[in-house]
Amino acid sequence: MTVTQPRPTELRLRKSACVLNVAFDSGEKFELPFEYLRVFSPSAEVRGHGTEILQTGKENVKVIGVEPVGNYAVCLKFDDGHDTGLYSWSVLYDLGRNHQENWARYLKRLKDAGYQRKPA
């Protein structure tokens, strides 16, 4: 049996709120903050070679562009120059479904590293 991943029905960049809203054909909707998208970028720069590389100083990062990649992904352009992550539909869905767990893990890693997040 083949399981199909939900596909997005809407992607809306809300620059003033610093979030990307994503709605899927499964009925699920996610509000993904820019910082979260940046620190969990699927790029090699962040993912490394099998290990997540801790990203710091991304509290106020902005998404300045969204470019479609075929019919399977988008490339997000960040104002810190990062633009190499391809956010496939399955990556966006996974980031939405696992937002709370991912974010808690990220905050713990920052704390363990002695990094103090800056206010927005």
Domain CATH number, residue 75: 3.30.2020.30
Average pLDDT over residues 111-116: 95
- pLDDT value for 94: 96
Rounded to 5 degrees, φ, ψ at 54 are: -65, 125
* List of residues 6+ apart from 87 with CB closer than 8 A: 37, 41, 42, 73, 74, 75, 76, 95
Residue 41 lies in a domain: yes
76 domain-assigned: yes
Residue 102 lies in a domain: yes
pLDDT digits (tens, 9 = 90+) for 17-43: 999 999 999 999 999 999 999 999 998
Domain of residue 75, residue span: 34-112
Instruction: Work out how many domains the chain is built from and give that number.
Output: 1
Rounded to two decimals, what is the model's pTM?
Answer: 0.92
Residue 44 pLDDT greater than 80, yes or no: no
Classify residue 119: in a domain, yes or no: no
